[in-house]
Structures are given as C-alpha cells and as structure tokens.
Amino acid sequence: MSERKQFRAIRGTRDILPPDSALWNWFERTAREVFESFNFREIRTPIFEDTSLFARSVGEETDIVSKEMFTFPTGEASMTDVMEVVHENIEFQPIPGASQGKQASLSADEMTAAIKAASLVSLRPEATASVVRAYIERGMHALPGSQKLYYVGPMFRRERPQKGRYRQFYQIGAEVLGPSDAPAIDAEVIEMLLVLFNRVGLTRTTLYVNSIGCKECRPKYVELLRDELRKVRDRLGADSQRRIETNPLRVLDSKLPEEQEIIATLPRISDHLCDACRDHFAKLKDELNLRGIAYQENWRLVRGLDYYTRTTFEVTAEGLGSQNAVCGGGRYDGLVELLGGPPTKGIGFAIGTDRAILSIQESGNLPKLPGLDVFVAWMGTECYPAAVAIARKLRDAGFAVELPPEEMKFKKSLGLADKLGARYALILGEDEVASGTYTLKRLADAEQKKLTEGELPEQLRSG
C-alpha cells in the first residue's frame, strides 16, 4: 500500500484565507492611500539579494544575520560548491593537544570572500537594505529633493515561531532618503504611521521614542556601557554575557526578569549624547508635540539592527501577548555610505502587518468590507443566456456577482445565496425573461421588487 504524504505549510508560514485576506487587502490599501497622501511612492525590490548586502547593512553580529537568514547559492554554484569554497578559504589548524581532528577558523574577510565566490543570496529578512541598494544602484540621489518610498511585501527570518512571530511575515514600510536629516522628517514619518493606525482603528497603541546617538557619541557610550556590563557580568544570563563583547546595546533589549534590576542601573545614552544629537532629539520631541502626537521616551529602545543612528522608535499594540511591537523604525544616516553610495541621510520604519491585523482582530473593531452583492438565481436553460448577460452588466457596474455554473432548484439556489452572504438574489425565470424584468430579493428581510434592468443598479446601491 502506498503511503500518501499529507502536505502542510512549512513551520512558521501560513495561508491567509478569505475572509481574512479581505482584511489584509483593506489594510494594505489603506496604507497605500495614507502614504501617498504624504507623497510617498511605492518601490518594489526583489525578494532575495546578495547575502553580503544584509551582512553589511543589518550587521554580522545581529541575530538576523548570524542565525536567521534563509540563504542559498545561485547560478552555477551548488551547496557542495559552497562548501568547497568555504573549505578552500579555511586555514586548517591543528588543535593543540588534540590527537585528531582539525579546527577551522575563518576570519570575517575570508568568510566574505567565500560567500562572494559562491554567489550566496538570502531571502530578505527586511527591506531597508534593498531599498538603499536600489537607491544607490539606480542613482536616485541625483533626483530632486528627498526620495520618499514605501514597500509592501513578505520578509523571511528563521525565528522560533509563536503567536505573532512567523518565518514568513509581512511588512509595510517607508523610507526617506536624501540630503536632509531635519527632525521634522522623523516627526512626519511617525505622524504618517499614526495616521494609518488611526484610520484602521489600531488605536490602543503606545509610541516609544529614543535617540541612540551618532558615530561621534555612540561609540564612547557603548564602551562605557561595556565597562559597566563587565562589572556585573556574573549576574547576567548567557545571551547578555555574550553580547557584552559582541553588541552591548542589545543587552538593553533583554526581557529576562532577573536582569531588569541590573539594567535599570546602567548608564543611559540620553546622558551621553553629543550636543548635535541632543539638539536633534529635543527638536524631534518639539515636532511631535506640534503634531499633537503622544509618546513615551524609552532609553532602552536600541533596536536590533546595526545601522540605526539618532532617532529610534517603536509602536506597541494591545492584544498581542509578548510579541507586541507592531512597528519599528529609526534613522540610519550612515547606511547609504556604508553600502558604497554618496553621503545621504535616511529614516524609515516597518510595520508588521501580521501583528497589526491580529491586533485589529483581537479588538473586535473590524471594518465592514464589501462582500457578495448579487446571487443570480436563474432557472431553466432558456434563461441562462439572459443570466450571463445581466451578470456581465452588473459586474461592469462594479457589483460582486455570483452566477451559478449549473442549473439549480429554486429553493437550493436561494439557500446557497444566503449561505454565501449575498445581499440580494436576482431571480430570473421564464416570466422575468418574457417580461424583460428582474425580481430582486433582499435576503436580509426578504423584501422583493420587480425591476427593469435600468433600475437595478440604483436599488443595489441603496442598501
């Protein structure tokens, strides 16, 4: 007996089915409308890019790059080729005292060379790197003013799946790239985000803001933080202990209850900003006040990606449990240069669509979305041509119409119309065809009217 495999969606991925997909479309459509009202325009970039693009921009030491990317070789190279390349680039050194076995040590440069030779690509874990790559490659810096771009689409991270955390998830993001780093840009980007959240009824949210300094003041603060962390090393968990050396700012992200008291005593970046950063942050807060935007300062908001400078922000929403961040963003003034472009300022954010939708669903504050308007209940094969014709006309007039492909008994037909949630059944039998009229039955209250073709659209629109 042959065993049949039951295929399932890959762990951490999921199907978005109707009617939820209508909610998703509405959310994305509203985002497009809001963003375009702020004069942002859509950019569509590929779903995979050179692995080294992400390594360089997001940062080698981040969780995203070091362990969460889906990476594969392209072109001629197979995985075996990649292993060979890695092999060729490794200098094998005997482990002192070990009788057998070899230790591979690969420097960052060697690894970069190996990856390059194998043409490794990764599914994008986020889209800012791609947008910046496109900005540089397509010479967008030569265009007038700032480039205000938005994107919509899936991202991929090999995270441990749980509620609100998936391996394929969706983001809607926006970026401003150009010559200016005026705090008004930061505030307008935040305003745009909150206008969207308001419009979709995502109102039980909190906005957190912080400044994490620039390349002048941050390194000094990071060193100070590292020194202080080394003093309390023994009282921290394994992850934080490792991060003292690799990325001390990330320790501030820790959610471990036993670390909270220690973290509260650490030096705060707000006390160590340079004059320019302090001024920028103060002006950002003025700009937010000017727009009537409520916020909370959170000195621990450092964000997990390497490229942020100065402004960082995050929005959390209710009803999501531990994964409650629905949007994260910040300024990344050095990123374009880091990726080989001209000096350029940048700021952006990414909304986690999965979580935003989840929060809207949990709130019960769902929009009324258009459904099926008309079910054409035709009877008798001689009526079928008229049914096809009226279905076409009503669809052209903008209504959603269901035309049964096979003849059905009248009762069954109306029963199905009801189950499908149609607003109206358009009854089309011998009498109607003979008199050139239609019987329109409103399913909510069974009110029935005989109408001519010309009268149908008005009645359908009226309710």
Task: Give contact residues for ligand AMP (rule: CB under 6 A).
Answer: 126, 157, 159, 164-166, 169, 171, 304, 325-328, 350, 352, 354-355
Minimum CB–partner distance for residue 358 and ligand AMP (Å): 9
Minimum CB–partner distance for residue 326 and ligand AMP (Å): 5
Minimum CB–partner distance for residue 352 and ligand AMP (Å): 2
Are 155 and 126 a contacting pair, CB within 8 Å? yes
Q: Which is nearer to ligand AMP, 226 or 300 (CB)?
A: 300
Q: Is the dihedral of CA 448, 454, 456, 459 positive or negative?
A: negative
CA distances from 24 to 156, 216, 321, 322 (A): 18, 42, 21, 22
Length of the chain: 463
Walk across the sheet containing 424-428 and list its strands.
401-402, 374-378, 424-428, 438-442, 448-451
Q: Which is nearer to ligand AMP, 40 or 438 (CB)?
A: 40
Q: Which is nearer to ligand AMP, 14 or 393 (CB)?
A: 14
Minimum CB–partner distance for residue 376 and ligand AMP (Å): 41
Q: Which is nearer to ligand AMP, 150 or 169 (CB)?
A: 169
Q: Which is nearer to ligand AMP, 213 or 352 (CB)?
A: 352
Q: Which is nearer to ligand AMP, 202 or 387 (CB)?
A: 202
Nearest residue (beta carbon) to ligand AMP: 352
Minimum CB–partner distance for residue 40 and ligand AMP (Å): 17
Q: Which is nearer to ligand AMP, 178 or 328 (CB)?
A: 328
Q: Which is nearer to ligand AMP, 266 or 325 (CB)?
A: 325
The SS3 call for residue 379 is: coil
Minimum CB–partner distance for residue 140 and ligand AMP (Å): 22
Which uninterrupted H or E stretch holds 301? Answer: none
Q: Is the dihedral of CA 32, 211, 331, 351 positive or negative?
A: negative
- Record the tokens describing residue 89, joined without a space: 């680039």
* DSSP per position, 219-240: HHHHHHHHHHHHHTGGGS-HHH
The number of helices, as runs of H, and strands, as runs of E, in the chain is 17, 18
Q: Which is nearer to ligand AMP, 200 or 350 (CB)?
A: 350
Which uninterrupted H or E stretch holds 435? Answer: helix 430-435
Secondary structure in 3-state letters for 104-124: EECCHHHHHHHHHHCCEEEEC
Specify the DSSP class assigned to residue 165: B
Minimum CB–partner distance for residue 191 and ligand AMP (Å): 18
Neighbouring C-beta atoms of residue 136, cutoff 10 Å: 18
CA distances from 366 to 32, 138, 314, 353, 463 (A): 19, 41, 24, 15, 20
Q: Are strands 168-178 and 147-156 parallel, antiparallel or unpaired?
A: antiparallel
Minimum CB–partner distance for residue 355 and ligand AMP (Å): 4
- Record the tokens describing residue 327, joined without a space: 């949007």
Minimum CB–partner distance for residue 246 and ligand AMP (Å): 18
Q: Which is nearer to ligand AMP, 162 or 289 (CB)?
A: 162
Q: What are phi and psi of 351, to 5 degrees?
A: -95, 135
Minimum CB–partner distance for residue 263 and ligand AMP (Å): 20
Q: Is the dihedral of CA 200, 205, 206, 209 positive or negative?
A: negative
